[in-house]
């Protein structure tokens, strides 16, 4: 980085990385990741109807607690660690885990966990439908182990929708967005 005049950083971890790499504070410019907060915070009638339809199809009662993972089913996001933790908790039928997405781990995970009560798999959803998917959930979980989970914009989206979050400390956003016990939790 010695040839750079300036660098953009997205959060605390990125800032610390650049500082450790020899850049001075005066060379660093804050350029946070951004989403359309209003689109995720304001649920249209169509989104609310879609969310209700999905809940009914999956037999998730309105009073149930729903944990959500939405992302690529790939090793760096480590959806298997969430599925394993969920099964070890032995929740009753009022707690559900909704796994939304596809990817290289999809078939294996559906094969291993797809018949367990309370665990539901839904294919990839278009970004236009994601506000409705977040609306189904109470808690969003991003269990990424990396490497390469530089931020995790899905956490921004879930929080804009008013959801609590549980995020691994390997997600770049954890240091900036998660306030322990206030809006969520991090885990190693």
Q: Which pLDDT tens digit goes with each residue over 46-92? A: 999 999 999 999 999 999 999 999 999 999 999 999 999 999 999 99
CA 130 to CA 186: how far, in whole Å? 23
Q: Which pLDDT tens digit goes with each residue over 4-50? A: 999 999 999 999 999 999 999 999 999 999 999 999 998 889 999 99
- pTM score, two decimals? 0.94
pLDDT at 71: 96
Contact 76, 146 (CB under 8 A): yes
Instruction: Give the H or E element holding residue 66.
Output: strand 65-70
Q: What is the mean pLDDT of residues 119-135?
A: 95
Q: Exposed, middle or buried, 157 (CB in 10 Å: 0-12/13-18/19+)?
A: buried
Candidate from 23-32, 64-73, 112-121, 142-151 with smallest mean pLDDT: 142-151
Contact 149, 78 (CB under 8 A): no
CA 166 to CA 162: how far, in whole Å? 13
pLDDT at 61: 95
Spatial strand order in the sheet of 139-142: 119-122, 95-100, 65-70, 139-142, 164-168, 184-187
pLDDT above 90 for 150: no
């Amino acid at each position: 980085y010695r040839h750079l005049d300036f660098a953009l950083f997205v959060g605390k971890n990125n800032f610390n990385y650049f500082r450790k790499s020899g850049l001075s504070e005066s060379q660093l410019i804050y350029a946070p990741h951004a989403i359309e907060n209003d689109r995720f915070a304001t649920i249209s009638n169509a989104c609310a109807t879609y969310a209700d339809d999905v809940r009914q199809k999956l037999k998730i009662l309105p009073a149930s607690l729903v944990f959500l993972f939405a992302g690529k089913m790939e090793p760096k996001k480590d959806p298997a660690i969430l599925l394993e933790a969920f099964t070890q908790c032995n929740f009753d039928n009022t707690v559900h885990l909704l796994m939304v997405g596809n990817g290289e781990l999809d078939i294996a995970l559906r094969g291993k966990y797809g018949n367990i009560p309370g665990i539901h798999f839904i294919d990839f959803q278009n970004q236009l439908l994601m506000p409705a998917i977040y609306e189904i959930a109470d808690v969003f979980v991003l269990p990424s182990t990396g490497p390469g989970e530089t931020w995790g914009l899905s956490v921004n989206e879930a929080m804009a929708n008013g959801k609590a979050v549980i995020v691994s400390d390997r997600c770049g956003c954890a240091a900036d967005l998660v306030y322990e016990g206030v809006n969520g939790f991090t885990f190693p």
